[in-house]
Amino acid sequence: GDSVTQMEGPVTLSEEAFLTINCTYTATGYPSLFWYVQYPGEGLQLLLKATKADDKGSNKGFEATYRKETTSFHLEKGSVQVSDSAVYFCAREGNYGGSQGNLIFGKGTKLSVKP
Amino acid sequence: KAGVTQTPRYLIKTRGQQVTLSCSPISGHRSVSWYQQTPGQGLQFLFEYFSETQRNKGNFPGRFSGRQFSNSRSEMNVSTLELGDSALYLCASSRGPGGTDTQYFGPGTRLTVL
């Protein structure tokens, strides 16, 4: 079935390092794509989204570009901070009425940023 | 504007019991979806309600059920609890049905089954 695959963690970086978290998806069409972030002990927060090919979503220094040629939506940040430590989930829009729901999530990537 | 609220935040039950979790969506949102999050399986879709109707359902046994009220608040119920039901249960609301509308998540209810 349709799926989302993201790089396995955990990812450990030093403060101010460059971050990339890879995400690829399978789909028959062009679903909307999302990145959600989950801080310890909290629910998910929408970080950014892109609704069509070549769109770039951005928020809080994070960016991701919808690449239909490579079916990818990699998350990047130029300089991470300790406060970015969290679990990051890539997700795609689900199929209408499908059993996977409106959002199909990847497994999540845990990021730890050390001072 | 208040966010999605879920009650209770933490719950401890024993095997065989049943439990009801509640979710209040953002004002004006008519769609509520429920997800189960576990370390092993990640985020799995349970069901979605829109305007008091179940719109779609994930691959969970019939012990998992839900409903939505006329004010869009939603409840989910799990009967005959099993140890494997221990998880974080998240609800998300959106204005309309479908995946294009942004979903906003609540903080979750942490259920522990002993």
Beta carbons of A88 and A109 less than 8 angstroms apart: yes
Q: What is the pLDDT of residue B81?
A: 97
Record: contact B105-A44, CB cut-off 8 A: yes
Q: What is the pLDDT of residue A97?
A: 65
Q: What is the pLDDT of residue B31?
A: 92
Whether the per-residue pLDDT at A112 is higher than 90: the answer is yes
pLDDT in tens, B38-89: 988 889 999 999 999 998 888 899 999 999 999 999 999 999 999 999 999 9
With cut-offs at 50, 70 and 90, classify the pLDDT of residue B102: confident
Q: What is the pLDDT of residue A93?
A: 86
- Closest residue in chain B to residue A30, using alpha carbons only: B100
Contacts of A29 in chain B (CB under 8 A): none
Q: Chain A 70-89, CB below 8 Å of chain B: which residues?
A: 89
Other beta carbons within 10 angstroms of residue B74's beta carbon come to 25
Whether the per-residue pLDDT at B101 is higher than 80: the answer is no
Beta strand pairing call for B19-24 and B74-78: antiparallel
Residue in A64, A12, A53, A45 with CA at minimum distance from that of residue A29: A53
pLDDT in tens, A44-87: 999 999 999 999 999 999 999 999 999 999 999 999 999 999 99
Q: Chain B 8-47, CB below 8 Å of chain A: which residues?
A: 33, 35, 42-43, 45-46
Looking at residues B92-102, what average pLDDT do you find?
A: 80
Contacts of A46 in chain B (CB under 8 A): 102-104
Greater confidence (B11 vs B56) lies with: B11
B93 in reach of chain A (CB within 8 A): no
- Report how far apart, in Å, the C-alpha atoms of A19 and of each of A54, A56, B12 are: 20, 16, 38
Give every CB contact of residue B104 below 8 A, 6+ residues apart in sequence.
Answer: A46, B3, B4, B26, B29, B92, B93, B94
pLDDT in tens, B35-46: 999 988 889 999
Whether the per-residue pLDDT at B99 is higher than 80: the answer is no
Whether the per-residue pLDDT at A99 is higher than 70: the answer is no
Contacts of B107 in chain A (CB under 8 A): 42-43
Whether the per-residue pLDDT at B100 is higher than 70: the answer is no
pLDDT in tens, A27-48: 888 889 999 999 988 889 999 9
Beta carbons of A33 and A50 less than 8 angstroms apart: yes
With cut-offs at 50, 70 and 90, classify the pLDDT of residue B9: very high
